[in-house]
Amino acid sequence: MEKKELELALKTHGENIEQKQAELKKLFEEKQAATEKVAKDALEAKAKELQTVIEAAKAERKAAQDQLDALETKLAKMEKSGIGESKSVTLNEAVKSLIESEDFKAAKKDGFRTKSVFEIKADTSDITGTVNMTAQNYSIGFAPDRALAFYPMLNQGFIGQNRNRVLWVEGAYTSNVGYVGEGTGQGTADTGTAVEKSRAMAKISAKLPLTAELLEDADYIASAFRMKMQEKALLFADGEFYTGDGSDGVNPNHIYGIVGQSTAFNPTTAGVLAAIATPNIGDLIDSCILQAELSEQKGLDTLWINPSDFFKMRYTKDANGQYLFVKGINGNYTINSLNVVRSSKVTADTLTIADSNKPQAWWKRNPEIKFSQMNGTDFVDDAYTAVLFLRAQCIVEAQDQTAIIHVASIATSLNDITKVTA
């Protein structure tokens, strides 16, 4: 409350107390004049109730008095410092008065060890201009990027110290189990082979030059650039997990993509060549699942598809008039029990269906940013370079590749499984 409000409150409390005390005095007089005990008891109860009200009013008056005392003390200090409450001063005048005040001079003499914060009041109506009147938003707006769509869904592995390759063993077993006669052993033995396979890690890097002035004058911008560099590196790695061109002969140190380690959809293998009248996207997906099941792969759970293809097929219905793509309560879609993942990294008119437990994402080094003046003439140019490195690899073992079916052309595959009518 302001000083005038507190003074008015004190006056109101005082008048209220005087009125209640007058009422209490009248009750005592009535009690003394009463002859019946019942009447005296009633008057006494009413007097006690009124006494309680008076005590509460006194407490409120005391609280208001304490606030007024504190305010007057504060105003006295401000007056001593050369800052008046009623006088409207500009910001320049207020600062000048503060500097000339005894309080400020004493603190300055003390080296501001015991007091370094001062309060001033000023009229800011004379402050104009867009800079002075602007509140800055320190977040940096960048163009939106696609969401991570591949490696977060895969099994993750990490390579420890003193290791730089992933090794696994692929086995093959031929059984010749069969009937034999009494007293006769099996003539043809089973055979088995186990072959060690290994793959080197792929190394990914990015660099960002930064001037010393940017770091000194707007470090929040430099920090945003570094974070964006890391995001872009992870997006690059994510895309390579799907379409990477790693190969044993040409690019052994690139990431081997899921598509490159998948099994191509083959309507003949699946037994659906020219077998379905007016097939739709659901029939094509079922055909891919069938091809995997014929290789005893029954855990397919993910469909990767281009957003444009999804949009064109989203309202496709089955023979019963039900939508094939079903939207869950979390906003995600499924089709034929597969989770639908839409990504612009998937080429239009293609799709991939997979058991997401089969591809393996391996990491040797998480995204690491280093910062120095070691790049060329950085030291002479008063500049710095931020560099990022990460090492990763994707592995789909040979026996698991039949659990990933890739359709190179949706249109062509739909035509291949269409039943030809005479």
- Name the strand (E) or helix (H) holding 378: helix 378-381
User: pLDDT (tens digit, 9 = 90+) per residue, 141-191?
Assistant: 888 888 999 999 999 999 988 888 999 999 999 999 999 998 888 889 999
Asked which of 286-295, 334-343, 367-376, 377-386 is least confident by mean pLDDT, the reply is: 367-376
Residue at token pair 């370094």: 116
Contact 121, 87 (CB under 8 A): no
* 399 falls within a domain: yes
**Does residue 268 share a domain with residue 400?**
yes
Q: Which two tokens stand for residue 132?
A: 């002075």
Spatial separation of the C-alpha atoms in residues 407 and 347, rounded to whole Å? 11
Contact 123, 88 (CB under 8 A): yes
pLDDT-above-90 percentage for the chain: 44
pLDDT of residue 3: 64
Around Cβ 335, how many Cβ atoms within 10 Å? 22
**Does residue 396 share a domain with residue 253?**
yes
pLDDT of residue 84: 47
What is the band of 125 on the pLDDT scale with cuts at 50, 70, 90? Answer: low
Spatial separation of the C-alpha atoms in residues 94 and 408, rounded to whole Å? 76
* 156 falls within a domain: no
CA–CA distance from 12 to each of 6, 8, 61, 195, 226 (Å)?
Answer: 10, 6, 9, 97, 64
**Does residue 217 share a domain with residue 69?**
no
Spatial separation of the C-alpha atoms in residues 27 and 47, rounded to whole Å? 6
The answer to whether residue 300 scores a pLDDT higher than 90 is: yes
pLDDT of residue 113: 75
**Does residue 243 share a domain with residue 379?**
yes
pTM, 2 dp? 0.67
Contact 386, 369 (CB under 8 A): yes
The answer to whether residue 364 scores a pLDDT higher than 70 is: yes
* 167 falls within a domain: no
The answer to whether residue 292 scores a pLDDT higher than 90 is: yes
Contact 215, 222 (CB under 8 A): yes
User: pLDDT (tens digit, 9 = 90+) per residue, 138-155?
Assistant: 777 888 888 999 999 999
- Name the strand (E) or helix (H) holding 326: strand 325-327
Domain end, chosen from 61, 80, 99, is at: 80
DSSP string, 99-121: HHSHHHHHHHHTTTSS-------
> How many domains does the chain divide into?
2
* 188 falls within a domain: no
The answer to whether residue 50 scores a pLDDT higher than 80 is: no
Report which of 226, 223, 162, 169 is spatially closest to residue 193, judged by C-alpha positions: 169
CA–CA distance from 66 to each of 3, 52, 56, 72 (Å)?
Answer: 12, 21, 15, 10
- Name the strand (E) or helix (H) holding 155: strand 155-158
Q: Which residues have CB under 8 Å from 333's CB, separation 6+? A: 310, 314, 325, 326, 327, 339, 340
pLDDT of residue 303: 97
**Mean per-residue pLDDT over the chain, rounded:** 84
Domain region containing 12: 3-80
Domain end, chosen from 19, 45, 80, is at: 80
The answer to whether residue 291 scores a pLDDT higher than 60 is: yes
Residue at token pair 């999804």: 310
pLDDT of residue 38: 64
Query: Phi/psi zone of residue 162: left (φ > 0), alpha (ψ -120 to 50 degrees), beta?
Result: left
pLDDT of residue 127: 62
Q: Which two tokens stand for residue 111?
A: 């080296």
Asked which of 89-93, 106-110, 292-296, 300-304 is least confident by mean pLDDT, the reply is: 89-93
The answer to whether residue 322 scores a pLDDT higher than 70 is: yes
Give the burial class of 385: count Cβ atoms within 10 A of its Cβ; 0-12 exposed, 13-18 middle, 19 or more buried.
middle
* 34 falls within a domain: yes
pLDDT of residue 85: 47
Across 113-139, average pLDDT: 70
* 187 falls within a domain: no
Dihedral of the alpha carbons of 95, 101, 106, 109, in degrees to the nearest 10: 50
Spatial separation of the C-alpha atoms in residues 373 and 414, rounded to whole Å? 57
The answer to whether residue 334 scores a pLDDT higher than 60 is: yes
* 90 falls within a domain: no
* 133 falls within a domain: no
What is the band of 99 on the pLDDT scale with cuts at 50, 70, 90? Answer: confident
First to last CA, the chain: 94
Spatial separation of the C-alpha atoms in residues 324 and 276, rounded to whole Å? 17
pLDDT of residue 287: 96
Around Cβ 192, how many Cβ atoms within 10 Å? 10
Domain end, chosen from 48, 80, 112, is at: 80
pLDDT of residue 416: 95
CATH number at residue 252: 3.30.2320.10
What is the band of 80 on the pLDDT scale with cuts at 50, 70, 90? Answer: low
**Does residue 272 share a domain with residue 404?**
yes
Contact 192, 173 (CB under 8 A): yes
What is the band of 362 on the pLDDT scale with cuts at 50, 70, 90? Answer: very high
Radius of gyration for the alpha carbons in the chain, expressed in angstroms and rounded:
41
